Amino acid sequence: METLFTTIEEARRWASLFLKKHHREERVADWLLEHHLDMNYTGLLVYGRDPFPEDKRKLFIKDVEQHAETGIPVQHLTGWAEFYGRRFTVNADVLVPRPETEELVEGVLQLLNHTSRSNLLNIVDLGTGSGAIACTLAIEAENVEVHATDISAEALRLAGQNAENLGAEVIFHQGDFLSPVASLEFDIIVSNPPYISYAEQEELSETVSQFDPHLALFAEDEGLAAYRTIARQIKQSASSPKLIAFEIGHQQGEAVRAIMEEELPVYHIEIRADINGKPRMIFAIAEN
Ligand code: SAM
Ligand code: GLN
């Protein structure tokens, strides 16, 4: 085989160009280099002229080629995704946690930390996937009991593993959103449910549509079905939460507001934008 590169710098250049030619994101080159060389970004720059370690060459090239050819997410190649500064193990059974979901967690934490209290708060994360939201809240928030549900047994297995690895105390339940815990009383309900409409399937990148589980992505009723199900489940449950926080698709703000106003009229609904200025969260706060 021809020598594609000798130094780390040359490996970066080779991989970026190769990915570009295949219409993939060039920065994936850096992420894979960081993973294989166990370095951070600064390391790649500082040690750029060092020879690329021979024993890592084959696997690195294989990962670059596989991503270029199939669009497999980098996180599936490395086996982990970073969320709120921690590593979560991921695989094909769970959605790769997204940066916008970190903002949802941040919003919940801000509200939690603004209320001075001595009482324990009960939180539930519906559709927990990798466990990213539930584990982060369990670690970051003081004096809380965190539950999490998912309909997927495979996802729950991985989420349980993540909780254990991170030392997060989370109680997991299998079932349809709130239903397995309908008899418990929650102060905060948080969820990033599936919200993509089936009509949008064609527009998704391969990295999403071919690799994230469809159970995590798609919902009926133009992507709105889960919000209505959850709102109705809350209405019929033992809970009257102070806060319901949802991640939403950027065009769903008004539609989710309407669902909430219809099903749970005692809440004040706030549509919140993410760091890019797009409406990506709904915070429903109990009026009293
Ligand atoms: N909470 C994780 C995150 O933010 O990265 C995963 C969110 S993913 C968009 C949605 C999750 O909801 C998936 O893990 C999926 O298995 C789960 N799910 C789908 N339908 C469900 C249902 N009816 N009841 C409970 N969980 C469901
Ligand atoms: N944010 C994900 C995406 O854009 C979708 C996650 C979801 O449906 N909740 O692919």
280 within 8 A of 273, measured Cβ to Cβ:
yes
Both tokens of residue 194?
């599936």
Rounded to whole angstroms, how far apart are CA atoms 130 and 11?
Answer: 32
pLDDT digits 0-9 by tens, 22-62: 999 999 999 999 999 999 999 999 999 999 999 999 999 99
Q: Given a cut of 90, is residue 2 above it in pLDDT?
A: no
Question: pLDDT band at 90, cuts 50/70/90?
Answer: very high
Question: pLDDT band at 118, cuts 50/70/90?
Answer: confident
Protein residue with least CA distance to atom 10, ligand 2: 208
Both tokens of residue 240?
């009257």
Angle at 246 between CA 195 and CA 147, to 5 degrees: 110
Beta partners for 124? Answer: 147, 189
Rounded to whole angstroms, how far apart are CA atoms 213 and 157?
Answer: 15
CA separation (Å) from 85 to 132, 140, 197, 247? Answer: 11, 11, 30, 20
Q: Which ligand is nearest to the CA of 93?
A: 1
Ligand 1: which of 100, 101, 149, 215 to mutate, judged by most atoms within 8 Å of the beta carbon? 215
- The structure's pTM equals 0.95
Sole residue written with tokens 């797009």: 278
Question: pLDDT band at 147, cuts 50/70/90?
Answer: very high
Pick the CATH number of 91-286 from 3.40.50.150, 3.30.540.10, 3.40.50.300, 2.40.340.10: 3.40.50.150
pLDDT, residue 116, reads 76
| Domain spans in the chain, listed from the N-terminal domain onward | 8-70, 91-286
Question: pLDDT band at 224, cuts 50/70/90?
Answer: very high
Sole residue written with tokens 């060039």: 26
| Residue 104 Cα: closest atom of ligand 1 | 4
Sole residue written with tokens 């009960």: 122
